[in-house]
Amino acid sequence: MNLINKRFVIERQSDGVNLDVNPFMPLADGMTEFLIVLVPGFSQLCMSSFIEPLRYANKLSRRERFRWKLISDDGTPVMCASGVRVCVDAGLNEESKLLKLNRLPDGIVICAGEGIAHYQSAPLVSLLRLCARRNVRLYGLGTGAWVLAAAGLLSDTRCTIHWDTMAAFSETFEGLNLTDALFVEQRGIITCAGEFAAFDLAISSVEHRCGSDVARSVCRFLTADRWREGESCQSAPLGLRFSGASEKLIRIIRIMENSVAEPLTIRAISRLQDLSCRQIERLFLRHLKVTPMRYYLLLRMARARQLIELTDMSVLQVAIACGFASSSHFSKCFRDHFGESPSSLRRA
């Protein structure tokens, strides 16, 4: 990770405000304003999922409850992961001057996506640290949490990030209190898994600011029957939580996810869950159409690919982190699964 990695300790101003009560405090004039920083490679889905509920809340409230401003490093359009260039309203230098004059927004939102491990922006790091000192709330959408961590703002702070980046995130930064959730808030810092989780975060903002009736109306306009709580887990297999799957199966998957570096045998898992090996096998075959050991290997391979793509760890280090005794065995399994070796993937 090339972004500034020095540990940065923030002394929060003591002005009598409890920063943990409500992550969506409005400005004095009754309006909540966000500066949304678009990082190259950001997810357009994530950006729209956050902004559109706020727009509909304004429309249904018949007043401007929320306002947002898009900014980039240099004030020029930013290309998202899908190749679309999005125009912005200003650059970081311009906004930094306003912030130094105490023209403070309610929150700074970092909207990021692919390629975040190689993103560098000293001006953004400076702006984030300035905002933290001024008690401006900081939001990391998607991999935006990576930028906050690189700025030294997530040490000992409960946080989350998109599940596809969790392994590399935890290996890159020390002292993180990382949790598998859609979005979490602590000490004025809100991190969100991104994508559709940004919608849940935005609706929570609408509910806090405008009430439950407006939040439900926004959901109806956007053809969403509900929104999810921030503490909901994000990394269960696709659709598993809504397919009537047993809580026992989800608990077993959690054990596997937390034991990638030192894989457990199915017999050991069965003892932990007070289930027979045969019961565990039936659960996996019924809901996931795969054996428990095969699923476990898929988890380890997914973790390995994350580490190869997003960190500078050697192949041997990745192998050990994913529970393999040797780099040769790991490379063979990796090649069998992805059709190329770990070193070939990294070169690509």
Q: Are both 212 and 265 inside the same structural domain? A: no
pLDDT tens per residue across span 279-327: 999 999 988 889 999 999 999 999 999 899 888 899 999 999 999 989 9
Q: Which of 227, 229, 144, 232 lies closest to 189, judged by CA? A: 144
Q: How confident is the model at residue 33 (pLDDT cuts 50, 70, 90)?
A: very high
Residues 6+ apart with CB under 8 A from 212: none
DSSP 163: G
- Of 104-108, 127-131, 192-196, 247-251, the least confident: 247-251
Q: Are both 188 and 70 inside the same structural domain? A: yes
Could you identify the residue written with the tokens 């989800």? 250
Q: Are both 211 and 262 inside the same structural domain? A: no
Q: Are both 64 and 187 inside the same structural domain? A: yes
The four Cα atoms 266, 267, 268, 269 give a dihedral, to 10 degrees, of 50
Domain count, the chain: 2
Please calculate the CA angle 192-197-203 and round it to the nearest 5 degrees: 100
Residue 273 lies in a domain: yes
- Per-residue b or e along 60-91, where b marks 16 or more CB atoms closer than 10 Å to that residue's CB: bbeeebbebebbbbebeebebbeeeeeebeee
| Mean pLDDT, residues 115-134 taken together | 90
Q: Are both 213 and 260 inside the same structural domain? A: no
Q: Are both 253 and 151 inside the same structural domain? A: no
In the chain, % helix, strand, coil (3-state, to 5) comes to 45, 15, 40
Q: Are both 160 and 264 inside the same structural domain? A: no
Q: Which residues pair with 263 in a beta bridge?
A: none
In order of 2, 114, 150, 225, the CA distances from 312 in angstroms are 11, 16, 15, 42
Whole-angstrom distance, CA of residue 328 vs CA of residue 237: 29
Residues in the chain: 348
Give me the CATH number covering residue 329.
Answer: 1.10.10.60
Residue 158 lies in a domain: yes
What's the whole-number average pLDDT of the chain? 86
Residue 45 lies in a domain: yes
Is residue 155 pLDDT above 50, yes or no?
yes
Whole-angstrom distance, CA of residue 321 vs CA of residue 215: 43
Domain boundary among 162, 187, 221: 221
What amino acid is encoded at 147 in this protein?
V
Tell me which residue range forms the domain holding 102: 32-221
Q: Are both 143 and 36 inside the same structural domain? A: yes
Domain boundary among 187, 221, 255: 221
- Which percentage of the chain shows pLDDT scores above 90? 62
Residue 233 lies in a domain: no
Q: Which of 145, 144, 128 lies closest to 136, judged by CA? A: 128
Q: Are both 36 and 105 inside the same structural domain? A: yes
Residue 294 lies in a domain: yes
State residue 152's pLDDT score. Answer: 93
Residue 143 lies in a domain: yes
Is residue 163 pLDDT above 90, yes or no?
no
Domain boundary among 221, 251, 278: 221
Q: Are both 57 and 190 inside the same structural domain? A: yes
Q: Are both 191 and 254 inside the same structural domain? A: no
Give me the CATH number covering residue 47.
Answer: 3.40.50.880
| Mean pLDDT, residues 253-270 taken together | 91
Q: Are both 70 and 187 inside the same structural domain? A: yes
Q: Which of 321, 315, 320 lies closest to 335, judged by CA? A: 315
Whole-angstrom distance, CA of residue 160 vs CA of residue 183: 6
Q: Which residues pair with 72 in a beta bridge?
A: 91
Residue 85 lies in a domain: yes
Q: How confident is the model at residue 34 (pLDDT cuts 50, 70, 90)?
A: very high
Residue 212 lies in a domain: yes
pTM beyond 0.85: no
